[in-house]
Structure 1
Amino acid sequence: MPHYEHILTERRGDVLVVRLNRPDRLNAAPPAMFDELRAALGDLDGARAVLIAGAGRGFCSGADVGGGALGAADPGAATFEALTEHYNPALLAIAALDVPVVSAVRGPAAGIGCSLALAADFCVASETAYFLQAFVNIGLVPDGGASWMLPRLIGRARATEMMLLGERVAAAKAHDWGMIHRVVADDALDAEAFALAERLAAGPTRALGLMRRGMQAALESDYAGAMVREAENQRAARGTQDAIEGGMAFLQKRKPVFKGN
């Protein structure tokens, strides 16, 4: 596996594990960390699922621009460049993946870290986790796609509460709101999140990729357009070896063995 400065990568079977690795800063993310994340996701090398986690006590406490934006001649321009050239491309790379993504969150998922955690298809959180849009507390606005993502996940009223009040949302409340997939004990987080990623990696990979991209497209299309996209995706899925295996397993009353093709 390639060596990175701000993340750790590990291939565990068919799962690519990516771990943010600045535990002394609760994995506060400099632009280079998201560049490395994007690079790691661009070279799956056959991995059929991705697990994103944080080293130490936190998932990601937000962006860390090292004072660069505040010290710049034009702080607004520097922030815009950091988002459009570094943070946003990594989040878009997650959206464009052909394989499912799981995030494992303990401690803070704040700011851009909240956006990263919720960009996964499944967010598994420990009882210590919390989600925070703290921008209002420093006179800034949500970024990393949060203003698009949160209303779609939890509705306008709750998204407004998160963004305009800037208060922590504990893991239990996030689960009640439908923002995340599951809450587990802190000492069970790594195993539970990996087990989910491993389950997804054993699924019909091409169909799963079509599903995740189809849902993204459906959020931006009308009812009829969504059905057309579904029909196109069904045509593509029907031509895969996994679909043949699934059909045969159904007829033979056995569990299918999907190979991801």
Structure 2
Amino acid sequence: MSLDPKTYKPEHFLWQFEEGVGRVALNVPSQKNPLTFESYAELRDFFRELVYIDEVKAIVFGSTEGNFCSGGNVHDIIGPLIKMDMIGLLKFTRMTGDLVKAMRGCPQPIIAAVNGISAGAGAIIAMASDFRYATPDAQTAFLFNRVGLAGCDMGACAILPRLIGQGRASELLFTGRALGAEEGERWGYFNKVVAEEELEAEAMKMAKRLASGPTFANGITKNQLNMEWDMSLDTAIEAEAQAQAICMQTEDFARAYHAFIAKEKPVFEGN
């Protein structure tokens, strides 16, 4: 796939691009924006391709008509899964996990703007983002347990405890209960809760701030956050020393220095 962000027209989700910021959103509002086999795969391929698209500097994964994502479509996904053999099921679960790998693997920071329902795989998409903003009535549910499945889906047992702690993650994953916006902000799951009419503007404000920053260095930060999960402290410090030395060779680092000397605000270019 060769992706030009200015002309890109996905089949299974919405895409807008302006001033270095891309906006993604599912668009089946009558069903609270569920995922299908096709939208899973297209989103996976899209986030994989972002590794090579320097023009896109930040992503907002938004909501549509009052909801973020209700998870896998009952008729298009859940029904067919009941009929699959183990080989087919494993192919599916690996494909859905690949979406999270692609989101974590792309250098662009991703901001989830969560309005209304964020359930199942929809909760996972928000969880896998780098920032999460929500409206006061947002409801997040890792509801796999409630449909007879384990909570260990698409990296939930790895990522969620790192966001909110082991005990709180255990509660959500063992029960599938809904997490409200206020509680989610208190637990550290949501970065910020804002009024519904302000959600998109707040998410875009952060995205534009990130897009105007040292985007190469931002990508390094995201990479180190990923890599250092299973490193010892000594290994992590050495990895950060090497990463920072690379960033010190960028033009953005020199631009920041010269701007400081001139008492001006640096204008970063991402190189």
TM-score of the superposition, structure 2-length normalised? 0.91
Match of 1:226 among 236, 241, 244: 236
3-state SS of paired residue (2:230): coil
What is the distance in 2 between the residues matched to 1:131 and 1:81?
A: 26
Identical positions, percent: 33
CA contact (8 A) 1:68 1:78 kept: no
Kindly indicate whether residue 138 of structure 2 is the aligned counterpart of residue 132 of structure 1.
no
1:216 aligns to what? 226
1:258 aligns to what? 268
2:128 aligns to what? 119
Q: How does 1:226-245 map to 2 (within 5 A)?
A: 226-245=236-255
Match of 2:101 among 92, 113, 127: 92
Match of 1:68 among 80, 87, 91: 80
Kindly indicate whether residue 93 of structure 2 is the aligned counterpart of residue 83 of structure 1.
yes
Amino acid at match of 2:26: L
**Structure 1: 5+ residue stretches without partners:** none
3-state SS of paired residue (1:128): coil
2:3 aligns to what? none
2:212 aligns to what? 202
3-state SS of paired residue (2:225): helix
1:26 aligns to what? 32
User: Compared with structure 1, are the counterparts of its residues 25 and 78 closer, same or farther at alpha carbon in structure 2 (3 Å cutoff)?
Assistant: farther
Which moves more between the two structures, 32-41 or 189-198?
32-41
Match of 2:179 among 141, 144, 169: 169
Amino acid at match of 2:17: R
TM-score of the superposition, structure 1-length normalised? 0.94
CA contact (8 A) 1:99 1:208 kept: yes
CA contact (8 A) 1:53 1:104 kept: yes
What is the distance in 2 between the residues matched to 1:128 and 1:193?
A: 17
RMSD: 1.4
Aligned residues: 258
Amino acid at match of 1:180: F
CA contact (8 A) 2:124 2:142 kept: no
What is the distance in 2 between the residues matched to 1:80 and 1:229?
A: 34
**Structure 2: 5+ residue stretches without partners:** 1-6
Kindly indicate whether residue 16 of structure 2 is the aligned counterpart of residue 10 of structure 1.
yes
Amino acid at match of 1:59: F
What is the distance in 1 between the residues matched to 2:56 and 2:238?
A: 29
CA contact (8 A) 1:118 1:180 kept: no
What is the distance in 1 between the residues matched to 2:186 and 2:103?
A: 25
Shift of 1:173: 0.6
3-state SS of paired residue (2:92): helix
User: Compared with structure 1, are the counterparts of its residues 212 and 45 closer, same or farther at alpha carbon in structure 2 (3 Å cutoff)?
Assistant: closer
- After the TM superposition, which parts of structure 1 deviate over 6 Å for at least 4 consecutive aligned residues? none
